[in-house]
Structure 1
Amino acid sequence: MKYYIIAGEASGDLHGSNLIKALQVKDRNADIRCWGGDLMQQAGGVLVRHYKEMAFMGFLEVLLNLGKISNAIKFCKTDIEEFKPDVIIFIDYSGFNLRIAKWAKQKGYKTNYYISPQIWASREGRIKDIKRDIDAMYIILPFEKDFYEKKHKYPVEFVGHPLLDAIGERKPVDSNNFRNEFQLDATKPIIALLPGSRKQEVQKMLSVMLSVVKDFSEHQFVIAGAPSLDEDFYLPYLKNPQVSFVINRTYDLLSISHAALVTSGTATLETAIFKVPQVVCYKANWLSYQIAKRIITLEFISLVNLIMKKEVVKELIQDDLNTKNLKSELLKILDGPNRHAQLEAYSKLEKLLGGRGASENAASRIVENA
């Protein structure tokens, strides 16, 4: 069968690549065309457009790039019609995907959503569009089932979280070899810096994260570079000899880290699965933040806290994300009760995520229902 998959950011590329591998096992004749990234292409999908061409962060950035987004939507529709897929699979990326889904449903295409748009966080009214345009929804967060089925009477299937597979299947890294490869101090505990994957968010987060380096001379700070950004982009942030850099090795870095400063997003959950105590950071431009503050109704922004339904990791948002607060919170997780409380909560969190096999579960349902 023919599958058309649309993902719009680094996490979607990761989950999309594992889904592609699972689809190829379930359907030996799978013909897969996709929007995504290098991982989806390496997994066997024919890459139509790379997500880094559409990586806009915040309401203002989207407004400034409406023309580019509109052209991409038109191109996507044309490409789908030429490919004639048996099923279209949407992965998160709601602003783009729900527009395509509306058109696709009207055209008679089978529509599946893997990794739900976060309508439980904002613009809940989009449930009407999902009910109208999506034939099947496969969710990866346990609390989403009650949201869809109990609150909105829309049937969904919880397939588990694909990060458990992505992390569980990786080869263990040798700490000494890793440190030697990137010329890291062999004696200092590592504090990982995960500033995000988009230029705008990295620029906002990384300077604040690095502002605490001088206060932790007994530690090695290592920036996790995003595969969507060139290494040269990070050069201005590497002037301090206490700061090092790795690119496309985030999981290896987390596996040997003592603590982490993490931009809100999928990375907070990845850090938790690696059992690394963390401080969650988020800062947007003023206008985007003011809009978000008025439409987002959640008590927390990190997936860790949302899944656990309580504050497990400290969230420093907007004006609260400053040197003083970041230093204070980092001290709390380097040692002592805050560190142990996070690690204990992480074990409970992993059980709630439902175990491994999400990609295989989703692929089975997609093939069966296509």
Structure 2
Amino acid sequence: MKYYIIAGEASGDLHGSNLMKELYKNDKDANIHFWGGDLMQSVGGTLVSHYKERAFMGFFEVITNLLKIVGFIKLCKKDILKFNPDVIIFIDNSGFNLRIAKWAKENRFKTNYYISPQVWASRASRVKDIKRDIDQLFVILPFEKDFYNKYNYEVSFVGHPLIDAIAGRKQVSLTKFREEHQLGDKPIIALLPGSRKQEITKMLSVMVSLVDDFSDYQFVIAGAPSQDFSFYKHIIGSKEIAFINNKTYDLLSVSYAALVASGTATLETALFKVPQVVCYKGGYISYQIAKRIITLKFISLVNLIMDKEVVKELIQNDFNKLNLKKELSKILKPENREQLFLNYFELEKKLGGKGASKKVATQIVNALKEIS
């Protein structure tokens, strides 16, 4: 069978790579073309476009790059027609994927979506488009199935793929990790400022401003695979801060606390049982638009899944040195950490256990066999 997978950003690349592994297990003759990144490319198949080429963040940034985005959409449609896949699998990345999905359905391609667009956060009207354009939707958050049921749309809850990604990784020795990266004996505070240049620029300068106030700890930046150290160095300046590129999971596994940009990383940090402060600061115009259309009580997946404030969120103007110092001090105290750990264990239970990628691949392949 021929599979066409479209993923964006580092998280989509991770989940796409695990899905590809399972597709190859289920279908020995699988032929896969994909939009993704290095992790998907390491599995096999044919890379059409790397997500680094289209990493635009926020409403304003998307608007200013419309010509580029239109060009990518044209390229994608042309390549799909040429490849003529048995199924197109969309992974997250709704801004791009929902446009392709509408066209794909009109052209009678079979469409599957893995990791739902966040229509439950804003613009729920898009559900009607998803129902029209997507043959099968696989959701990974426990509350999503109930959400879609309200619109009479049956979806499959498969559990969260991060459970597998984290459980399947090789364990890291703290001693060896410190030696390899020339780290001292102080407890580690991980800095996860995001993966795109716009968010790193806004987040990291505030995060590193705390270094001198927490001299009993060492701060370590988790570098994104999409960015070079030279970009971070420009923001860090003369401060002595360790930098470890493309080893976020290893870093989290040995960290005592973390400052984390809102996104998938907040859930990853929770699954590693690391106390965290969630940070978000977008461009002024993008933020003003977002706060008018997003109806959620929280921005972090941790709090959304638990339906209560488990981790502190510092958003836009609240994200400043004074507040960040106060909240970091809190999660370093034993009495606060104990409750966080209890909440993290409850969170993991809600996520539905292992095997998300395997469940999705099995259902996709079996559905194709039935109609072939």
Task: Give yes or no for TM over 0.5.
Answer: yes
Give the residue type in structure 2 aligned to 1:16.
G
Q: TM-score, normalised by structure 1?
A: 0.98
Instruction: Please name the residue that 2:354 is paired with.
Output: 356
Q: TM-score, normalised by structure 2?
A: 0.98
Q: SS state of the match for residue 184, structure 1?
A: coil
Cα distance in 2 between the residues matched to 1:367 and 1:226:
33
Cα distance in 2 between the residues matched to 1:61 and 1:273:
31
Q: Does 1:67 align with 2:67?
A: yes
1:16-65 deviation per Cα after TM superposition (whole angstroms, max 9, x unaligned): 00000000001110000000000001011311000010000000100000
Instruction: Tell me if the contact between 1:22 and 1:360 (Cα under 8 Å) persists in the aligned partners.
Output: yes
Instruction: Please name the residue that 1:126 is paired with.
Output: 126
Instruction: Please name the residue that 2:140 is paired with.
Output: 140
Cα distance in 1 between the residues matched to 2:56 and 2:193:
15
Instruction: Tell me if the contact between 2:201 and 2:235 (Cα under 8 Å) persists in the aligned partners.
Output: no
Cα distance in 1 between the residues matched to 2:225 and 2:76:
24
- Shift in Å, 1:288: 0.3
Instruction: Please name the residue that 1:296 is paired with.
Output: 294
1:215-251 deviation per Cα after TM superposition (whole angstroms, max 9, x unaligned): 1000000000000111221112444554110000000
Instruction: Tell me if the contact between 2:208 and 2:236 (Cα under 8 Å) persists in the aligned partners.
Output: no
Q: SS state of the match for residue 183, structure 2?
A: coil
Q: SS state of the match for residue 152, structure 1?
A: coil
Instruction: Tell me if the contact between 1:238 and 1:244 (Cα under 8 Å) persists in the aligned partners.
Output: no
Instruction: Tell me if the contact between 1:302 and 1:315 (Cα under 8 Å) persists in the aligned partners.
Output: yes
Instruction: Please name the residue that 1:28 is paired with.
Output: 28
Instruction: Tell me if the contact between 1:220 and 1:242 (Cα under 8 Å) persists in the aligned partners.
Output: no
Instruction: Tell me if the contact between 1:238 and 1:245 (Cα under 8 Å) persists in the aligned partners.
Output: no
Instruction: Please name the residue that 1:167 is paired with.
Output: 166
The within-5 A match list for 1:171-190 is 171-185=170-184, 187-190=185-188
Cα distance in 1 between the residues matched to 2:309 and 2:46:
41
Cα distance in 1 between the residues matched to 2:333 and 2:238:
25
Instruction: Tell me if the contact between 1:332 and 1:338 (Cα under 8 Å) persists in the aligned partners.
Output: yes
1:328-349 deviation per Cα after TM superposition (whole angstroms, max 9, x unaligned): 0000001133211111100000
Cα distance in 2 between the residues matched to 1:121 and 1:237:
32
Instruction: Tell me if the contact between 2:281 and 2:316 (Cα under 8 Å) persists in the aligned partners.
Output: yes
Instruction: Please name the residue that 1:116 is paired with.
Output: 116
Of residues 190-199 and 37-46 in structure 1, the stretch that sits farther from structure 2 once superposed is 37-46
Q: SS state of the match for residue 145, structure 1?
A: helix
Cα distance in 2 between the residues matched to 1:148 and 1:270:
25
Cα distance in 2 between the residues matched to 1:178 and 1:47:
32
Q: SS state of the match for residue 279, structure 1?
A: strand
Instruction: Tell me if the contact between 1:217 and 1:242 (Cα under 8 Å) persists in the aligned partners.
Output: no
- Shift in Å, 1:155: 0.3
4+ runs of 1 displaced by more than 3 Å?
237-242
Cα distance in 2 between the residues matched to 1:146 and 1:334:
36
Cα distance in 1 between the residues matched to 2:13 and 2:345:
26
Cα distance in 2 between the residues matched to 1:173 and 1:199:
29
- Shift in Å, 1:115: 0.3
Q: How many residues align?
A: 368
Cα distance in 1 between the residues matched to 2:238 and 2:165:
33
**RMSD, aligned α-carbons:** 0.8
Give the residue type in structure 1 aligned to 2:340.
Q
Instruction: Tell me if the contact between 2:205 and 2:236 (Cα under 8 Å) persists in the aligned partners.
Output: no
Q: SS state of the match for residue 301, structure 1?
A: coil
Structure 2: runs of 5+ lacking an equivalent:
none
